[in-house]
Structure 1
């Protein structure tokens, strides 16, 4: 089942309008997460909203927003006042312009969403907008209000729907000069570049996300399973960074190492680490994602008919 929509409203291109819903395209809920506990009792830690001066707990109905003008001096802003400045983009994504994809600096990208028609009407208008963007090979730029703030949103076709990527405003992007100006402008020789290019060519490939494993998530699962089984936890040696004395020598050795990796036989497909070495455990954890997939398979499995 698809998650609940983060936003519902209308998508408009000039006079063409259709109802749409915006859904998160990514999720981190499958990752291992921890609760904070009281070491002495083992009980969960609970956070209370308290008055900073009196220390008394404050109920939600008595909490208002405030902007700090000076230290300890605030201007209160009510929910009703915030609703008074509601923008049109609160309910409508108005397409303002179309740009080339290469015009969007990667630093401005925040997060992706799926955009689809909301309900049974407006599918034809949605298709017109989607196919126009696809045909022109452009990115549509509009605005949308999420979590009480207006964002720029870039819309691109994806299958039968649209991908909407939130963008930052210029004031949110830091000036690279603050970080890069002090980098030494060292000249790189042609021999060094040739060796480096050779390494790149040996490692060239296509980006396939499924090839990458979240090693930290796997290590967390292993850690929890070992502690659950009562096994001792032995710290692993940390990798050490070494100073490069001879850059040309390091590049030549890297060329040899890359060649060895390329010619080496591919190892057999590994099973999930979460299951390794856990035969003695009755209920090893496999991570939230694996548990969710197993539950889905179980619910879709057809019961076998008993023979007479």
Structure 2
């Protein structure tokens, strides 16, 4: 099945705007999923929204409730929440660059592939990719999508660019309360040497294909065997119910030169003001 873009817009580096598409890097179809089936009737189990003492309720009568510390709920209308959702922007601007190794793994959330949306975008796309590769940097920016704002890091990945959404600071739990009780005594030198040698002996280039999800493989094998057996109970499936192009890239070299000059002029101007102020 062809990959479908979840976002289309521009990747912007100062004056350079590159039309791109963003695709999920995760293969959601690789996981086995199940439906709950009512054994006597063979029909899928559905869920109703019910209120204790009232019974089933209409979706239109449901509000969002935020639970406070004292156990009360602050009630919010769906329209109130919709009103503060951010408009989906069509630009992802790289506003800062950091060393790739500066971002600890704990900050990464979900991976996405960033690809040029047309042939005209490929030259500028390759320049940004190669510049990030040469400097060993990751570009940071914020992407607005589906009413929310995501912090993103973009870095080279093979022949293309990988975008990873990052957690915000408030999303990560402080580790100090968990690690503070671990004593920082000097290790036993002999044990440390043996452990170090073992690590060195087992060190090899990363190859994801060397690892297999044994549970998933066994589950798929079980399903295959059940499908081949005529003794396997079956339930009849229900009938299924019916469920802007980027602008041309400006002259790349000219835009990069203007961006660089603009950056230098800003630095000189700032430096000059600081000097006069002293």
* TM-score between the two structures when normalised by the length of structure 1: 0.64
Q: Per the alignment, do residues 199 and 128 of structure 1 end up closer, same or farther by CA in structure 2, a change over 3 Å counting? A: closer
Contact 2:65-2:73 within 8 A present in 1 as well = no
Deviations 1:98-151 (A, max 9, x none): 111111111101121101122454333333333332333311111112343211
Q: Which moved more, 1:162-171 or 1:148-157?
A: 148-157
8 Å CA contact retained: 2:96, 2:139: yes
| Deviant stretches of 4+, over 6 Å | none
Q: What is the distance in 1 between the residues matched to 2:111 and 2:131?
A: 20
Q: 2:145 is matched with which residue? A: 146
Change (3 A) 1:159 1:64: farther
What SS does the aligned partner of 2:206 have? coil
Task: Find the aligned partners of 1:14 and 1:69 in 2 and give their Cα distance.
Answer: 43
Residue correspondence of structure 1 range 102-251 to structure 2 within 5 A? 102-185=101-184, 187-225=186-224, 228=226
For residue 122 of structure 1, give the secondary structure of its aligned residue in structure 2: helix
Give the structure 1 partner of residue 263 of structure 2.
none
Asked if the contact 1:69/1:75 (under 8 Å) is kept, the reply is no
For residue 84 of structure 2, what is the aligned residue in structure 1? 82
Structure 2 portions without partners, runs of 5+: 231-278
Partners of 1:14 and 1:185 lie apart in 2 by 46
Q: How far, CA to CA, are the matches of 1:175 and 1:55 in structure 2?
A: 42
- The 1-side partners of 2:151 and 2:49 are apart by 33
Compared with structure 1, are the counterparts of its residues 131 and 52 closer, same or farther at alpha carbon in structure 2 (3 Å cutoff)?
farther
Q: 1:65 to 1:120 in 2, by over 3 A?
A: farther
SS for the counterpart of 2:44 is coil
Measure the CA separation in 2 of the matches of 1:128 and 1:204: 34
**Following the alignment from structure 1 to structure 2, what is the Cα–Cα distance between the partners of residues 157 and 184?**
39
**Helix, strand or coil: the match of 2:209?**
helix
Q: Which structure dedicates a bigger proportion of its chain to strand?
A: 2
Three-state SS of the structure 2 residue aligned to 1:206 is: coil
Q: Offset of 1:45 from its aligned partner?
A: 1.1
Change (3 A) 1:204 1:132: closer
User: Contact (CA 8 Å) 1:142, 1:154: kept in 2 or not?
Assistant: yes
Aligned residues: 226
**Per-residue Cα deviation, 1:220-261 (whole angstroms, up to 9, x for no partner):** 2344456x28xxxxxxxxxxxxxxxxxxxxxxxxxxxxxxxx
Q: Secondary structure at the match of 2:156?
A: strand
Rounded to whole Å, the distance in 2 between the matches of 1:64 and 1:122 is 46
With over 3 angstroms needed to count, the CA separation of the structure-2 counterparts of 1:187 and 1:18, relative to structure 1, is closer
Deviations 1:183-213 (A, max 9, x none): 3445421111122223223323222111111
TM-score by length of 2: 0.70
RMSD value, Cα: 2.8
Q: 2:143–2:151: 8 Å Cα contact kept in structure 1?
A: yes
**Ranges in structure 1 where 5+ consecutive residues have no aligned partner:** 230-280, 284-308
